[in-house]
Each structure stands twice: as structure tokens, then as C-alpha cells.
Amino acid sequence: MANATSPWFGGGSDLATWIIAISILISTILSIFAFLGVAQGFQLRIWKAQIESKLRILESYRDEVRDEVRKRLEKLGARNVEEVLSTALDYFVISPVSIEPTDIIKRLERVLRTEEERLEALVARSLGSRADEVVIKNAVTLLAIANALNILYKYIRHILLTGIKTRNALLVAQLWMLLPFYMRIAKAYYDASKVIAKGIPIGDAAGPLAAYKLMRMLPRIEGPIEITKDTIYSIHEYENRRIIVVKAKGPGSTVGRPGEAVEKIVETLSPSSIASIITIDAALKMEGEPTGSIAEGTGVAMGDPGPEKIRIERIAVRHKIPLYAIAIKMGLEEAITAIKKEIVEGVEKAVEHAKRLIIEETRPGDTIIVVGVGNTLGVAQ
Amino acid sequence: MNLDLYTLYMLSMVILSIAMVVYMVFATLGSRGKREPEKKVVTVLRCPRCGYTKTRDFREGDYVGKVVDEVCPKCGISLVVDAIYEESITSLNQVLRNKRKQEGARKTSSQLKGLTRICCALRR
Ligand SMILES: [Zn+2]
């Protein structure tokens, strides 16, 4: 029996020689390949295959969101659904000229408002007289998500194809390394679409929810009144002070125009009586911070591209009104998916903090504006 | 069986690399099976007069501030949606899955121990 195993164990040094010879041969071939750029070609092919598999996931996200909107619109008896979808999915916004900064914020506002009004009109026309405001707003938000996923998909595909066509391994490598980050965003958008379609409040609704809680808690003097498109305010009494609470008009998915609303309120009232403007908004937490924790600061807590925020800043400067901000912390995914219990608890803390701030920083007889900033989906007034 | 030191060294290298590959495959498979905890969206109803609260599953059409059909058992007035939020639930399935995963991990580690034992035996 000992002889039977001899090819393997009989000549021990023979085997060792073979192993060494083969390894040297393999490494020589590999280093020649490396010189010729073959190794890089192999690597490129692996990256390409992995990016392509992620692209297929991205495509399915986009298609699922698109089909969801189509299904919802068709159920409501909308006409020309395909036309609405094709327009909305490829809709683009050209940012204003920035080398000439005069009035850039006005120009940006114009462009953004036109986008919003155009998409709403598109859905409203398709739905005809059946159009319900909440339904239109939610459909427009879903279309915006489908648009974002579509653009992301096309962008990644473009970089990949350009990299392959020009045999630019670095470009493909860079895309491959950034892909987990893009996929995280895409997944968050995809999850958000499911929540928004059902009308469940998202994490970003923390601001409007705080405004709602204040409105319910304090005795109401007046309101709610729609002061500008999709934005309402109501006047309340608290410890001999007048509290004006501003939020987007719910429960449809909208952020309203809080900047314009505050501007109008300050201008119609006697500005000298306004003691402070408090903004409450969801803020991106740093990794490691607990979800739903709150922090106080100064400035305007608002995550808009600029036009709304600057209106509050300008009016505050003009009338020397102090700006207070309360942030409710959450992660990127948490901000756009179903609101978590921790965030709702954070909202209660934020409301109590705002009340304490009012007592500490203002006197009886003052008027205070409290703005709940964010998307008010699923939160009424 | 005239195993000289050199062959033994070579063989243990081969076995070690096989063990590494096996370990990596198990580690990858183990991390892929990780599932997010199941989540449920609930609606909290509150009586505006006495503060009685009731939690039920979210239904499409619910929104914070909505006056629902259900009435307060004490006051007889309509309840209002006070909050909507997402809860993580640990279902029986989840518990079983976690248990299975732990068992899986134990199995992997015992397999690794087995491999090490074979290595040691060969070297001896
Ligand atoms: Zn009651």
C-alpha cells in the first residue's frame, strides 16, 4: 500500500520541485501580462461586470417607481399617462449663470418655481376635473423621484460606456469605487417612493410635525390661513405672547414657500413687534450621533437651494430680528423614508425647547414667528 | 512515507491557502445573508378631550391631524390621528433567523477548527 501512494509521497523533493517550477512559471507569465497591460484589462472587465450588475438594479428601481406612478395615475383615470411620464422622467433644470452673480437667487427661484408649476400642471391636466390637490402633489413628488433615479442611471451608464470606449481604466475604477455611495442614495430614493405613494410622513416632516404640535397645543386666535402657495400660518397665544406658526399646507407632499410666507407676515405686521424668528427643521446628523437628538443654534434652519432661506435672512437683517434655529437630527435615508419613532420623540423635545426659548428670549406682548420647515407629507394643520 | 521537511512546508502552504479561501467564502456568504429588521408603520389615535390614545396599523389615507371614524370609549367623540411612525418589530421569524445565523457562525468556526487540526496533524 505504501507503494500505491508513491507518486505523491514517494519522491518528496520531486513534488516540491514541481510546485516551485509551476509557481515561477505562473508568476513570470503574470508579470509579462502586467507589462503588456493585460492584467489591467482583466481588472477592467471585472469592474465592468460589477458596475453592470449594479446598473441593472438601478434600472429596476427606476422602472418600478415609474410603474407605480403609472398604476396610480391610471387608477385615477388620468389621460396621456405615457406622455406625462416621458416628460417628467427626462425633465431638466438649467442652473442660472453664476459668473454674473447679481440677482442669481431671483433667477434660481424663477427656474425652480417654473419647474414645480409645470410638473403640477402636467399632472393636473392629465387628471382633469378629478384632480385632488393631495393626489397631484404626491404624484409630482413620485415623478421627481423617478426623474432622479433616471438621471442617476443614465449618468452611471454614461461614465461606464465612456470609460470602456476610451479604455480609461481609471475612470471605470473611480466609478466602481463611488458606486456604493450612489447605490445608497438610489436605495433611499426607491424606499422613499414606497412611503410617499402611501402618504406616510417621511423623516423630513419633523419640522411641519413640530409646527402641527404647537398649533394643537396652544390656544388658537386666528387661522389657519393660506398666505402664499402651499403655505399656511395660524396665530396662537402663549404666556401673553403672540405666536405665529408657519408650515407647508398638508397633508400633500410639499415644502411650501416658507421664506415668502415669513416675508409677507413680517411686512403686513408692524415689524418692530416681532421679537424673534424660530425655524425648526430636520438636519443631517453626523455618523454616530443618535437619531432624533436635537440641537439649538442660530440662523435659518432650512435645506432649500437658497431662494426661500435668503428671504428670511434678508427680512431678519432689515428689521434686526434675531434668528433661532432648532435642528432635529437624522440620517440621509431616515430623512426621506418613513418617519421613525425616535424622530417623533425628537419633535416633542424640539417643541418643548422652542417653548422654553420663547420664554427665555422674549417678553410678554412680543410676537414670535415659528416656522416648521420641511416636507409636510402626511401632516395636516 | 518519507516526507521531508521541504515537502511538508509546501503542503502546509497549500492547505493554508485552501483554508483561507474556504474562510473567505464562508465570511462572504455569512455577511450576505444579513437582513434588515422588519418594520411596521403605525398610527397613533388620540382623544382631543381626555388624551386617551390607541395605536393601530397605518391605513392608506391616514394623516396627522385627520379626524377618524373611531370614537373615544370614554367621551364618545371622534379620535384624531396624533402621530404616524415606523417601528422595528422583532417577529418570531426574526428571532428564529437570528438563532439560525448564530448556529451557522458556530458551525463555521468548528469547521475552521477542524481544518487547523488537520494542518497540525500533518505537520506532526
Ligand atoms: Zn376621550
**Which pLDDT does position B36 carry in this prediction?**
64
Instruction: Report the sign of the C-alpha dihedral through residues A296, A302, A305, A306, in that order.
Output: negative
Torsions phi, psi for B23 (to 5 deg): -60, -45
Contact (Cβ atoms closer than 8 angstroms) between residue A104 and residue A113: no
Say if CB A126 and CB A136 are below 8 A apart: no
Furthest-apart CA atoms within chain A: distance in Å: 107
Give the pLDDT of residue A269: 83
What is the predicted pLDDT for the residue at B124?
43
Q: What angle do CA A102, A106, A112 make, to 5 degrees?
A: 135
Q: Where are the domains of chain B?
A: 1-34, 39-123
SS (H, E, C) A243-310: EEEEEECCCCCCCCCHHHHHHHHHHHCCHHHEEEEEEEEEEECCCCCCCCCEEEEECCCCCCCCHHHH
Strands A367-372 and A274-284: parallel
Name the E strands within A96-229: 220-228
Position A355 scores a pLDDT of 94
- Sorting pLDDT into bands at 50, 70 and 90, what band is B6? confident
Distance A354 CA to ligand 1 centre (A): 28
Q: Reply yes or no on whether the pLDDT at B123 is more than 80.
A: no
CA A61 to chain centre: 16
Structure confidence at residue A80 (pLDDT): 86
Q: What pLDDT does A210 receive? A: 95
- Residues composing chain A: 381
Instruction: Please provide the DSSP assignment of B76-103 as one string.
Output: -PEEEEEEEEEEE---HHHHHHHHHHHH
Mean pLDDT (chain B) is 78
B119 C-alpha vs ligand 1 centroid, how far in Å?
73
This complex has an ipTM of 0.79
Residue in B4, B41, B66 closest to A13 by CB: B4
Give the one of A13, A19, A212 whose C-beta lies nearest to B65's C-beta: A212
Compute the count of residue pairs across chains A and B with CB atoms less than 8 Å apart. 77
Residues of A engaging B, defined by a Cβ cutoff of 8 Å: 2, 5, 9-10, 12-13, 15-16, 19-20, 198-201, 209, 212, 216, 250-251, 337-341, 343-344, 378-381
A214 Cα to the center of ligand 1, angstroms: 20
pLDDT by residue, tens only, chain A of 381 residues: 444 444 555 455 688 788 889 999 999 998 888 888 777 788 888 899 999 999 999 999 999 999 999 998 888 888 888 999 999 999 999 999 989 888 999 999 999 999 999 998 898 888 887 778 888 888 899 999 999 999 999 999 999 999 999 988 899 999 999 999 999 999 999 999 999 989 999 999 999 999 999 999 999 998 789 999 999 999 999 999 999 999 999 898 999 999 999 999 998 887 778 899 999 999 999 989 999 999 999 999 888 888 899 999 999 999 999 999 999 999 988 998 999 999 999 999 999 999 999 999 999 989 999 999 999 999 998
Nearest by CB to A338, which of B2, B41, B61? B41
Q: Coil, helix or strand for A380?
A: coil
For residues A237, A239, A243, A247, the Cα torsion angle rounded to the nearest 10 degrees is -90
pLDDT at A244: 94
For residues A35 and A123, is the Cβ–Cβ distance under 8 A?
no
pLDDT tops 60 at residue B118: no
Cis omega before residue A271 (within 30°)? Answer: no
> Would the CB atoms of A343 and B85 count as touching at under 8 Å?
yes
Domain with CATH 3.40.50.1470 in chain A: 203-372
Query: Locate cell 471585472: which residue?
Result: A46
The model's pLDDT over B34-89, given as tens digits with 9 standing for 90+, comes to 566 678 899 999 998 888 999 999 998 899 999 998 899 988 899 999 999 998 77
Q: Per DSSP, what are the bridge partners of residue A235? A: A222, A244
- Take residue A273 and report the three cell numbers written for it: 413687534
CATH class of A203-372: alpha beta
